[in-house]
Amino acid sequence: MHENKTILITGTAGFIGFHLVSAFLKLDFKVVGIDSINPYYDTKLKFDRLKFHGISLEHIRSEKGLESNILKDEPIAYKSSIHEKYTFYKANIDNQSSVEEIFNKEEPEIVINLAAQPGVRHSLTYPRDYITSNIDGFLNILEGCRSSAVKHLLYASSSSVYGLNSNLPFSSKDNVDHPISLYGATKRSNELMAHCYSHLFKIPTTGLRFFTVYGPWGRPDMALYSFTKSILEGVPIDLFNNGDMIRDFTYVEDIVESIVRLIDKTPASSEDKSLLDQPYTSTAPYRIFNIGNNNPIILGDFLRVLENALGKKAIINFKEAQPGDVYATQADVNELIQTIGYSPSTSIEDGVKRFVNWYKEYYNFN
């Protein structure tokens, strides 16, 4: 059904992007990936994700090679050695000419934008990284979609847009005008930018508000990954707000399944003015969905699940809450269920166990 369709995914050396490449290759899409291999965290993990799909970049593995490659203006294309339908571009989405060249050459019908500068705490020290990647970069993606007549743009937003909202569960019907981190503000900006392009140029756009995604091949700066590393190495864990924080942990395969089902649910324009009463819909071809497990857990309890999976206790340093941290998240996924007939449901026990098994294999822990 999808054998002749081209899907462009940004951030394919990243966590969710890696899993999406696997999913869409199985569905027989022609997959085009983009990633700058930003050294925000250990690039070895990013190179290994690419290698898993047959993209070998051994010649730029060194930091010196990586830096010199990042500085080049032209996008560099690599063909997978194991997947005929996968092409990867070493490129940065905040480089306008690179994005234009890739869109013109590949002519994607569907685009999924995951490339971004992540992390709430990083934004406290390096705010300009978020404007460059999350705002300038997203504008380039929107312009690429505009020039190529893309049929559907899906893009990563975040539960961080809910900010000071204290009504749980977070609903896509809620006001999101009070973010408390620059990261959250840039993600909300993406939603507003997408609406403008949906309204002005009739580009169908779908925003995806992810809730604390975890699983195999995850990000080292996220709690599950860093906690696992510390416990296995006998290093103390900093548990902020004394562990009294609540997160709606969502397993990565549930995220991927939701996105796959949303691909063909293309938003349409409407004359129904009542759609403007709901912030997640519009008369423009525009929608926003929460994608979360809707089963939040206290961080301290989450740590105990991890300890059970590892068979080892954590050494804990209790810390005060940090600026920009939201106390609790929980996703209302009613709109998602109504649209695709699916809701993330992997239990935290099963998800953590799968991650631990992957982590031990990847790092050779016996």
| Pairing assessment for the beta strands 110-113 and 213-214 based on DSSP bridges | unpaired
Segment (H or E) for 334: helix 334-340
Greatest C-alpha distance within the chain: 61
Residue closest to 243 by CA, chosen among 168, 318, 322, 304: 318
Choosing from 130, 183, 251, 286, the catalytic residue is 183
Number of Cβ within a 10 Å radius of residue 56 = 12
Q: What is the DSSP letter of 136?
A: I
CA distance 282 to 203: 13
Euclidean distance between the first and final Cα of the chain, in Å? 43
Q: What angle do CA 187, 191, 193 make, to 5 degrees?
A: 110
Segment (H or E) for 300: helix 299-310
Active site (annotated) includes residue 183: yes
- Per the DSSP assignment, residues forming a β-bridge with 318 are 239
Quick check: 88 and 33 in contact, CB under 8 A? yes
Query: Residue 202: how many CA atoms within 13 Å on its side-chain side?
Result: 4
CA distance 85 to 263: 18
Instruction: List all residues 6 or more positions away from 115 whose beta carbon is below 8 Å from its beta carbon.
Output: 10, 11, 14, 17, 34, 35, 36, 93, 133, 137
Distances (CA, A) of 106 to 56, 158, 231, 303, 358: 21, 28, 45, 44, 34
Buried b (16+ CB within 10 A) or exposed e, 152-175: bbbbbbbbbbbbebeebbbbbebe
- Residues that are catalytic: 183
